[in-house]
Amino acid sequence: MIIISDYELAKEILNHPMAMARPPHSFDFLVGKGGIIGMNGEEWQEQRRFVLQTMRDLGMGKGLWEKMIQ
């Protein structure tokens, strides 16, 4: 296990193209190869962009989510 405690370093590492490939999960037999969990590479990146944009459109980062949850 590797622990990265520096925010900027973690952001740089996780945004690097080589970080897009995900190792096979031990629970693949439960979820199959479909869905967001099983995505990899460009497919994963496209879904990530979509989800983040949708969450921003719904108010993420503006304090609206906290009100919705309460």
- What would the pLDDT profile of 14-55 be if each residue is shown by its tens digit? 888 777 666 665 555 555 556 666 677 788 788 888 988 988
pLDDT at 19: 73
pLDDT at 13: 84
pLDDT at 58: 81
Mean pLDDT of 2-17: 86
- The phi-psi region of residue 2 (left if phi > 0; otherwise alpha if psi is between -120 and 50; otherwise beta) is beta
Mean pLDDT of 4-16: 87
Alpha carbon distance 58, 64 (integer Å)? 8
